[in-house]
Amino acid sequence: MRLFRFGMPNDEHPGLWHNGQGYDVSAFGEDYDEHFWETDGIHRLKAWWEEHRQDCTPISPTRIAPCVKKPSKIICIGLNYADHARETGASRPSSPIIFLKAPSALCGVTDPLVIPVGSQQTDWEVELAVVIGKKAKHVDESTAMSYVAGYTIMNDYSERHFQLADTGQWTKGKSFDSFAPLGPYLVTADEIPDPHGLKLWLSVNGQMQQQSHTGEMIFRIPFLIHYLSRFMTLMPGDILSTGTPAGVGMGKRPPQFLQPGDIITYGIEQIGEVRQQAIAAQH
Protein backbone atom coordinates (compact mmCIF):
# COMPACT_ATOMS: atom_id res chain seq x y z
CA MET A 1 0.00 0.00 0.00
CA ARG A 2 0.94 3.62 -0.51
CA LEU A 3 -0.05 5.87 2.36
CA PHE A 4 0.06 9.64 2.33
CA ARG A 5 -1.34 12.52 4.33
CA PHE A 6 -2.91 15.69 3.00
CA GLY A 7 -4.48 18.98 4.08
CA MET A 8 -3.22 22.20 5.60
CA PRO A 9 -1.08 22.18 8.77
CA ASN A 10 -3.29 21.44 11.82
CA ASP A 11 -5.94 19.99 9.52
CA GLU A 12 -4.14 17.01 8.02
CA HIS A 13 -5.85 13.75 7.06
CA PRO A 14 -4.82 10.23 6.09
CA GLY A 15 -4.95 9.21 2.47
CA LEU A 16 -4.35 6.08 0.45
CA TRP A 17 -2.91 6.00 -3.06
CA HIS A 18 -4.44 3.29 -5.22
CA ASN A 19 -3.96 2.69 -8.97
CA GLY A 20 -2.63 6.20 -9.54
CA GLN A 21 -5.40 7.93 -7.61
CA GLY A 22 -5.46 9.41 -4.09
CA TYR A 23 -8.35 8.64 -1.74
CA ASP A 24 -9.42 10.25 1.52
CA VAL A 25 -9.51 7.52 4.17
CA SER A 26 -10.42 9.78 7.10
CA ALA A 27 -13.46 7.54 7.68
CA PHE A 28 -11.06 4.82 8.87
CA GLY A 29 -10.97 6.96 12.01
CA GLU A 30 -7.22 7.06 12.63
CA ASP A 31 -4.23 9.02 11.44
CA TYR A 32 -0.78 7.57 10.72
CA ASP A 33 0.63 8.13 14.19
CA GLU A 34 2.42 6.01 16.80
CA HIS A 35 -0.81 4.27 17.86
CA PHE A 36 -1.59 3.34 14.23
CA TRP A 37 1.80 1.69 13.64
CA GLU A 38 2.02 -0.13 16.97
CA THR A 39 -1.47 -1.65 16.64
CA ASP A 40 -0.80 -3.19 13.23
CA GLY A 41 -2.58 -0.32 11.51
CA ILE A 42 -1.34 -1.31 8.06
CA HIS A 43 -3.21 -4.63 8.14
CA ARG A 44 -6.28 -3.13 9.77
CA LEU A 45 -6.39 -0.36 7.17
CA LYS A 46 -5.96 -2.88 4.37
CA ALA A 47 -8.95 -4.91 5.61
CA TRP A 48 -11.01 -1.74 6.06
CA TRP A 49 -10.09 -0.51 2.56
CA GLU A 50 -11.24 -3.78 0.96
CA GLU A 51 -14.64 -3.29 2.51
CA HIS A 52 -15.06 0.49 2.16
CA ARG A 53 -13.17 1.55 -0.95
CA GLN A 54 -16.41 2.34 -2.80
CA ASP A 55 -17.27 4.92 -0.15
CA CYS A 56 -13.89 6.70 -0.23
CA THR A 57 -13.69 10.02 -2.05
CA PRO A 58 -11.02 10.45 -4.76
CA ILE A 59 -8.98 13.58 -4.05
CA SER A 60 -6.35 15.78 -5.72
CA PRO A 61 -4.96 17.64 -2.74
CA THR A 62 -3.03 20.90 -3.14
CA ARG A 63 -0.87 20.14 -0.11
CA ILE A 64 0.75 16.80 0.64
CA ALA A 65 1.60 16.62 4.36
CA PRO A 66 4.41 14.55 5.97
CA CYS A 67 3.41 10.90 5.49
CA VAL A 68 3.87 10.12 9.21
CA LYS A 69 2.15 12.10 11.96
CA LYS A 70 4.45 13.40 14.72
CA PRO A 71 7.19 10.75 15.01
CA SER A 72 8.92 10.71 18.41
CA LYS A 73 12.26 11.21 16.68
CA ILE A 74 14.12 11.51 13.41
CA ILE A 75 17.41 9.64 13.53
CA CYS A 76 19.90 10.31 10.76
CA ILE A 77 23.00 8.46 9.67
CA GLY A 78 25.96 10.61 8.62
CA LEU A 79 28.47 9.72 5.92
CA ASN A 80 26.83 6.39 5.08
CA TYR A 81 27.92 6.39 1.42
CA ALA A 82 31.67 6.08 0.84
CA ASP A 83 31.74 8.57 -2.06
CA HIS A 84 29.93 11.18 0.07
CA ALA A 85 32.39 10.70 2.95
CA ARG A 86 35.21 11.25 0.44
CA GLU A 87 33.75 14.44 -1.06
CA THR A 88 33.41 16.00 2.41
CA GLY A 89 37.03 15.18 3.23
CA ALA A 90 36.04 12.69 5.95
CA SER A 91 37.32 9.15 6.25
CA ARG A 92 35.04 6.13 5.89
CA PRO A 93 33.38 5.70 9.31
CA SER A 94 34.15 2.49 11.20
CA SER A 95 30.78 2.59 12.96
CA PRO A 96 27.60 4.50 12.07
CA ILE A 97 27.60 8.25 12.72
CA ILE A 98 24.30 9.09 14.40
CA PHE A 99 22.63 12.44 14.85
CA LEU A 100 19.10 13.60 15.59
CA LYS A 101 17.01 16.05 13.63
CA ALA A 102 14.24 17.93 15.46
CA PRO A 103 10.79 16.52 14.52
CA SER A 104 9.60 20.16 14.20
CA ALA A 105 11.67 20.30 10.98
CA LEU A 106 9.15 17.99 9.28
CA CYS A 107 7.10 19.34 6.42
CA GLY A 108 5.22 18.11 3.41
CA VAL A 109 6.81 17.63 0.01
CA THR A 110 4.65 20.32 -1.60
CA ASP A 111 5.82 22.85 1.00
CA PRO A 112 8.71 25.16 0.10
CA LEU A 113 12.19 24.80 1.53
CA VAL A 114 12.63 27.87 3.73
CA ILE A 115 16.23 29.11 3.67
CA PRO A 116 16.90 30.18 7.26
CA VAL A 117 17.67 33.73 8.35
CA GLY A 118 21.41 34.34 8.04
CA SER A 119 22.04 31.19 6.01
CA GLN A 120 24.71 31.21 3.31
CA GLN A 121 25.17 27.45 3.03
CA THR A 122 21.86 25.60 2.76
CA ASP A 123 22.53 22.24 1.13
CA TRP A 124 20.56 19.24 -0.13
CA GLU A 125 20.74 15.51 0.76
CA VAL A 126 18.31 13.03 -0.83
CA GLU A 127 17.90 9.98 1.43
CA LEU A 128 15.96 6.76 1.75
CA ALA A 129 13.97 7.00 5.01
CA VAL A 130 12.82 3.93 6.94
CA VAL A 131 9.65 4.16 9.03
CA ILE A 132 9.76 1.97 12.14
CA GLY A 133 6.68 -0.22 12.63
CA LYS A 134 7.05 -1.50 16.19
CA LYS A 135 9.01 -0.81 19.36
CA ALA A 136 12.64 -1.91 18.86
CA LYS A 137 15.08 -2.40 21.73
CA HIS A 138 18.17 -4.64 21.53
CA VAL A 139 17.07 -6.07 18.22
CA ASP A 140 19.14 -8.72 16.44
CA GLU A 141 20.30 -7.95 12.93
CA SER A 142 18.61 -11.17 11.71
CA THR A 143 15.13 -10.02 12.79
CA ALA A 144 15.61 -6.26 12.28
CA MET A 145 13.68 -6.02 9.02
CA SER A 146 10.48 -7.18 10.74
CA TYR A 147 10.54 -3.80 12.57
CA VAL A 148 10.18 -1.85 9.33
CA ALA A 149 6.70 -0.48 8.46
CA GLY A 150 7.77 1.00 5.15
CA TYR A 151 9.93 3.39 3.21
CA THR A 152 9.74 6.98 2.07
CA ILE A 153 11.99 9.83 0.94
CA MET A 154 13.52 12.48 3.17
CA ASN A 155 15.62 15.41 2.03
CA ASP A 156 18.02 15.92 4.93
CA TYR A 157 18.50 19.65 4.24
CA SER A 158 21.56 20.95 6.06
CA GLU A 159 22.97 24.39 6.78
CA ARG A 160 26.69 23.69 6.56
CA HIS A 161 27.91 26.72 8.47
CA PHE A 162 25.71 25.99 11.49
CA GLN A 163 26.40 22.25 11.13
CA LEU A 164 30.19 22.33 10.77
CA ALA A 165 31.97 25.70 10.87
CA ASP A 166 30.04 26.94 13.90
CA THR A 167 31.33 24.53 16.54
CA GLY A 168 29.04 22.16 18.42
CA GLN A 169 26.65 19.44 17.39
CA TRP A 170 25.43 18.74 13.83
CA THR A 171 21.81 18.85 15.01
CA LYS A 172 21.76 22.66 14.96
CA GLY A 173 22.47 22.79 11.22
CA LYS A 174 19.87 20.11 10.51
CA SER A 175 16.75 21.16 12.41
CA PHE A 176 15.44 24.36 10.83
CA ASP A 177 11.73 24.40 9.96
CA SER A 178 11.15 22.69 6.59
CA PHE A 179 14.52 20.87 6.68
CA ALA A 180 12.80 17.46 6.77
CA PRO A 181 10.27 17.08 3.92
CA LEU A 182 8.93 13.52 4.20
CA GLY A 183 7.00 11.82 1.41
CA PRO A 184 5.24 11.86 -0.94
CA TYR A 185 4.14 8.38 0.12
CA LEU A 186 5.02 5.79 2.64
CA VAL A 187 5.35 2.58 0.62
CA THR A 188 4.72 -0.40 2.88
CA ALA A 189 7.64 -2.80 3.37
CA ASP A 190 5.92 -5.70 1.55
CA GLU A 191 6.08 -3.68 -1.70
CA ILE A 192 9.85 -3.07 -1.47
CA PRO A 193 11.44 -6.45 -0.73
CA ASP A 194 14.95 -5.09 -1.45
CA PRO A 195 15.47 -1.55 -0.08
CA HIS A 196 19.12 -1.80 -1.11
CA GLY A 197 18.20 -2.12 -4.77
CA LEU A 198 16.89 1.40 -5.43
CA LYS A 199 18.23 4.23 -7.56
CA LEU A 200 18.07 7.68 -5.97
CA TRP A 201 18.74 11.08 -7.50
CA LEU A 202 18.45 14.83 -6.99
CA SER A 203 18.68 17.80 -9.32
CA VAL A 204 18.76 21.57 -8.77
CA ASN A 205 17.23 23.79 -11.47
CA GLY A 206 17.26 20.84 -13.83
CA GLN A 207 20.93 20.04 -13.32
CA MET A 208 21.61 16.56 -11.94
CA GLN A 209 23.60 16.68 -8.69
CA GLN A 210 23.17 13.33 -6.98
CA GLN A 211 22.76 10.00 -8.73
CA SER A 212 23.41 6.81 -6.84
CA HIS A 213 21.97 3.54 -5.58
CA THR A 214 20.95 2.43 -2.08
CA GLY A 215 23.16 -0.64 -2.55
CA GLU A 216 26.11 1.70 -1.98
CA MET A 217 25.33 2.23 1.72
CA ILE A 218 28.24 1.42 4.04
CA PHE A 219 25.96 0.30 6.89
CA ARG A 220 22.77 -1.39 5.73
CA ILE A 221 19.31 -1.12 7.23
CA PRO A 222 19.27 -4.35 9.34
CA PHE A 223 22.57 -3.42 10.95
CA LEU A 224 21.47 0.19 11.52
CA ILE A 225 18.28 -0.92 13.31
CA HIS A 226 20.26 -3.42 15.41
CA TYR A 227 22.93 -0.84 16.22
CA LEU A 228 20.57 2.05 17.05
CA SER A 229 18.32 -0.15 19.20
CA ARG A 230 21.25 -0.72 21.58
CA PHE A 231 21.31 2.98 22.43
CA MET A 232 17.68 4.08 22.26
CA THR A 233 14.25 2.52 21.91
CA LEU A 234 12.97 2.98 18.40
CA MET A 235 9.29 3.84 18.60
CA PRO A 236 6.56 3.03 16.06
CA GLY A 237 6.54 5.84 13.49
CA ASP A 238 10.14 6.90 14.13
CA ILE A 239 12.07 7.94 11.05
CA LEU A 240 15.49 6.51 10.29
CA SER A 241 17.13 8.45 7.45
CA THR A 242 19.88 6.32 6.00
CA GLY A 243 22.37 8.89 4.67
CA THR A 244 23.04 10.62 1.39
CA PRO A 245 25.30 9.74 -1.56
CA ALA A 246 27.88 12.03 -3.18
CA GLY A 247 26.87 15.18 -5.01
CA VAL A 248 25.92 17.57 -2.21
CA GLY A 249 26.64 21.29 -2.64
CA MET A 250 29.48 21.41 -0.11
CA GLY A 251 31.31 18.73 -2.13
CA LYS A 252 31.36 20.83 -5.35
CA ARG A 253 34.44 22.80 -6.45
CA PRO A 254 33.59 25.58 -5.81
CA PRO A 255 30.82 24.77 -3.30
CA GLN A 256 27.27 25.45 -4.46
CA PHE A 257 24.42 26.26 -2.08
CA LEU A 258 20.68 26.84 -2.44
CA GLN A 259 19.22 30.27 -3.18
CA PRO A 260 15.64 31.54 -3.03
CA GLY A 261 13.88 30.55 -6.24
CA ASP A 262 15.87 27.37 -6.80
CA ILE A 263 13.88 24.28 -7.78
CA ILE A 264 14.94 21.05 -6.11
CA THR A 265 13.64 17.81 -7.62
CA TYR A 266 14.49 14.37 -6.32
CA GLY A 267 13.26 10.85 -6.16
CA ILE A 268 13.79 7.23 -5.28
CA GLU A 269 12.89 4.33 -7.50
CA GLN A 270 9.67 2.48 -6.49
CA ILE A 271 8.76 5.29 -4.06
CA GLY A 272 8.18 8.54 -5.94
CA GLU A 273 9.36 11.97 -6.96
CA VAL A 274 9.32 15.36 -5.27
CA ARG A 275 9.59 18.94 -6.54
CA GLN A 276 10.21 21.77 -4.09
CA GLN A 277 11.02 25.44 -4.39
CA ALA A 278 13.43 27.28 -2.10
CA ILE A 279 12.18 30.55 -0.60
CA ALA A 280 13.73 33.10 1.77
CA ALA A 281 12.65 33.11 5.41
CA GLN A 282 10.23 35.91 6.23
CA HIS A 283 11.55 36.41 9.77
Residues 6+ apart with CB under 8 A from 41: 30, 32, 35
Count of Cβ atoms closer than 10 Å to residue 60 Cβ:
7
Please count the residues of the chain: 283
Q: Which of 31, 125, 159, 238 binds Zn ion (CB under 5 A)?
A: 125
Query: Is residue 116 reached through a cis peptide bond, with omega within 30 degrees of 0 on the bond before it?
Result: no
Find how far residue 247's CA is from the centre of its chain.
Answer: 18
Does the bond joining 254 to the residue before it have cis omega, within 30 degrees of 0?
Answer: yes
Nearer to Zn ion, 3 or 271 (CB): 271
**Measured from the CB of residue 174, what is the shortest distance to Zn ion in angstroms?**
8
Question: Is 123 among the residues that bind Zn ion (CB under 5 A)?
Answer: no
Residue 126: CB minimum distance to Zn ion, A: 9
Residue (of 159, 160, 145) closest to 240 by Cα position: 145
Site for Zn ion in 229-248 (CB under 5 A): 244
State the minimum distance, in angstroms, from the CB of residue 242 to Zn ion: 8
Per 3-state DSSP, the chain is made up of helix, strand and coil in percentages (nearest 5) of 25, 35, 40
- Shortest reach from residue 257's CB to Zn ion, in Å: 16
Q: Which stretch binds Zn ion (CB under 5 A): 117-125, 185-193, 214-222, 248-256?
A: 117-125
Instruction: Quote the CA–CA distance of 214 and 226 in Å, as a whole number.
Output: 18
How far apart are CB 76 and Zn ion at their closest, in Å?
5
d(CA 6, CA 29): 15
Among positions 213-232, residues that touch Zn ion (CB under 5 A) are none
Q: With binding defined as CB under 5 A, does residue 111 bind Zn ion?
A: no
Residue with smaller CB distance to Zn ion, 148 or 217? 217
Is 12 a binder of Zn ion (CB under 5 A)? no
Other Cβ atoms less than 10 A from the Cβ of 64: the count is 25
**Binding residues for Zn ion restricted to 49-108, rule: CB under 5 A:** none
Distance, CA of 274 to CA of 203 (rounded, Å): 10
Q: Which residue is nearest to Zn ion (CB)?
A: 156
Number of H helices, E strands in the chain: 5, 19
Does 122 engage in binding with Zn ion (CB under 5 A)? Answer: no
Cα 109 from chain centroid (whole Å): 10
Nearest distance from C-beta of residue 208 to Zn ion, angstroms: 19
Closest CB to Zn ion among residues 23, 99: 99
**Residue placing its CB nearer to Zn ion in the complex, 6 or 170:** 170
Binder among 156, 159, 238, 262 for Zn ion (CB under 5 A): 156
Closer CB to Zn ion, residue 119 or residue 244? 244
Q: Please report, as ranges, the residues that interact with Zn ion according to CB under 5 A.
A: 125, 156, 244
